[in-house]
Amino acid sequence: MLRFAAYREGQGRILAAALTTAAAAYVVWKIAESPDQAVQFAFNGLSVGAVYALLALGFTLVYSTVWFFDLYYGAAAAMGAYGVFYLRTSETVGGNHVNNPYVSAVFALVVAGVIAWALHESLFRRLERRSNPTTLRAASGLLAATAGIYTGFVLTNPDHLHMLLSPAAGVTVAVAVGGVVYGVLQRLFVGTAAAPLLIISAIAGCVVGAYCGLLVAGAPGSRLYLSWIVSCLVAGAVGVALYRGLYVYMRQRARSPLIMLVASLGVLLAITAATAIVFESAPRPLPRAFGSDSWALWGGNIKGFNVFTVGVAIAGFAGLLLLLKKTALGRTIRAIGDDEEVAKVVGINTTVVIAIVFFIGAVFAAAAGLLSGHDTAIQPRMGLLLMLKGWIASVVGGIGNLYGAVVGGFALGMVEQFGIWDLAGEWKDVISFLILILFLSFWPRGLLPRG
């Protein structure tokens, strides 16, 4: 009876190939039957697949760095969506306004803690030798407290989001533009003294930053999009806080990845239930974003927002690829993924780099969560299912491979949508999990294995 292993090696490949061929033939036949409907399904598949691709990108990045499944990832997706709901909805929960000071205080504290740690790790560790540690500690605490209070203000005054965030946006743009201009100038005028270049780039940065800040301050319509950024950043900060506050200690003792998995399952359980307590467990709509009317294209309809989602997925992919392949940080991330102990020996501060990876991963999850939330509705337990879909997409594409994550995400979205052509729409979760089992049985390394 259990000659299955041998059977799998031999006929298994043939069976798998036959199944794939049958599926392909079925799709081709359906397309030939009604091309218009096929275009519609393809559009649906694209927009769903973009969300899955985003999830798979973040998931595969985190997993291939730390090699355990962090289920906080699902909670981050839900938090991204609920962050937007928290900041921008006009609905009420149980007769009260959604926005409540206790929730804001919790997140402000988390952000303050993360910033305090980031300052400690980045700036003050370098200044330690030159100045008094007490002063440094006081300055770091003061800066972190300021950041926490600012976050608290932003979270409790969602109606003035554009005013409150305009200085932050201005400073960010100023620093970015200044940096880029300085870099370009340095390349252009090799051998010139640094001071004039610095002054010029500082002026350029300040001007552009101030302009951007004013632009944001004068546009109340931008509040929704600012709330996207805020909720992604907050979800990322919570991810970092979890990593630094919990996973670091746990990884020192844990014998197996299952302990980490169960612990993060506890985190997911607690956050999901807390979300349900704060926002009630019924599904809710997010406020309307742009592009909610559909365009007719090649006989199908697609919403502008879905095109935007696909764009975000591709941009996220490109950004992550650049980060991993072209920058020093990316090289250290890949080094840690290959062998953490050796990376530590070589002198990489693994804690900081992994914290950055967790931040990026949580931001990707939150972005996927809020994009899918705008497309459909949000509910507290959406996170778990979204995370599982991201997990499946990264398994299908090949865990640890960015190209694989994108391919897997879009392929999963397409297969789900084409699969429910003749079935009812409710079966799409079943389809994706059957695909997962099929892949794990026959192609456990995915479509594009990690190189």
Partner 1 sequence: MFTGSRRLPGLKRSVRDPGAFIRLARSNLELWANLVIIAWAVTFAILQGTGFAITLGTVFAIWAILAVSLNLVVGFTGLLSVGHIGFFGIGAYTVAVLTSNASYEQLRTEAIPTFGWPFFAALPVGVVLAGLTAVAVGVVFNRFRDDIFVLVSFGFAIICFNVFLNARAVTRGAFGIHEVAKPQIGGWVFDDELSFLALAVVFLLVVVLLSWFIVTSSFGRVLTAIREDERATEVFGYQVTHYKLTVWVLSAMMAAAAGGLFASWTTFIDPNSFVLLESILLVSIVILGGLATIWGSLLGAMTFVLLEEGMRFVPGLPDQYVGQARQVVLGVLLVLLMLFRPQGLLGRYRL
For partner 1, the binding residues (CB under 8 A) are: 2, 4-5, 8, 68-69, 246, 249-250, 253-263, 265-274, 276-277, 281, 381, 384-385, 388, 391-392, 395, 424, 426-427, 429-430, 433-434, 436-437, 440-441
User: Do residues 428 and 418 touch, judged by C-beta distance below 8 A?
Assistant: no
Q: Residue 85 CB, nearest distance to partner 1 (Å)?
A: 17
Give whichever of 257 and 291 is closer to partner 1, judged by the CB atom.
257
What gap in Å lies between CA 135 and CA 163, rounded to an integer?
33
Q: Residue 272 CB, nearest distance to partner 1 (Å)?
A: 7
Q: Residue 371 CB, nearest distance to partner 1 (Å)?
A: 22
What gap in Å lies between CA 151 and CA 234, rounded to an integer?
9
Give whichever of 277 and 318 is closer to partner 1, judged by the CB atom.
277
At 349, give phi and psi (nearest 5°): -80, 90
Phi and psi based region of residue 140 (left: phi greater than 0; alpha: psi -120 to 50; beta: remaining): alpha
What gap in Å lies between CA 427 and CA 411, rounded to an integer?
17
Phi and psi based region of residue 256 (left: phi greater than 0; alpha: psi -120 to 50; beta: remaining): beta
Q: Name residue 302's beta-bridge partners.
A: 295
Give whichever of 231 and 272 is closer to partner 1, judged by the CB atom.
272
Vertex 358: Cα angle to 47 and 89 (nearest 5): 55
Of the candidates 103, 161, 82, the one whose C-alpha atom is nearest the C-alpha of residue 373 is: 82
Cβ neighbours of 320 (radius 10 Å): 20
Give whichever of 7 and 295 is closer to partner 1, judged by the CB atom.
7
In the chain, the N- to C-terminal Cα span, in Å, equals 36
Give whichever of 130 and 255 is closer to partner 1, judged by the CB atom.
255
Give whichever of 298 and 433 is closer to partner 1, judged by the CB atom.
433
Cβ neighbours of 98 (radius 10 Å): 21
Q: Residue 227 CB, nearest distance to partner 1 (Å)?
A: 25
How large is the C-alpha radius of gyration of the chain? 24
Give whichever of 339 and 429 is closer to partner 1, judged by the CB atom.
429
Identity at 2, one-letter amino acid code = L
Q: Residue 263 CB, nearest distance to partner 1 (Å)?
A: 4
What gap in Å lies between CA 5 and CA 35, rounded to an integer?
41
User: Do residues 432 and 382 touch, judged by C-beta distance below 8 A?
Assistant: no
Give whichever of 163 and 276 is closer to partner 1, judged by the CB atom.
276
The DSSP secondary-structure symbol of 284 reads B
Give whichever of 267 and 312 is closer to partner 1, judged by the CB atom.
267
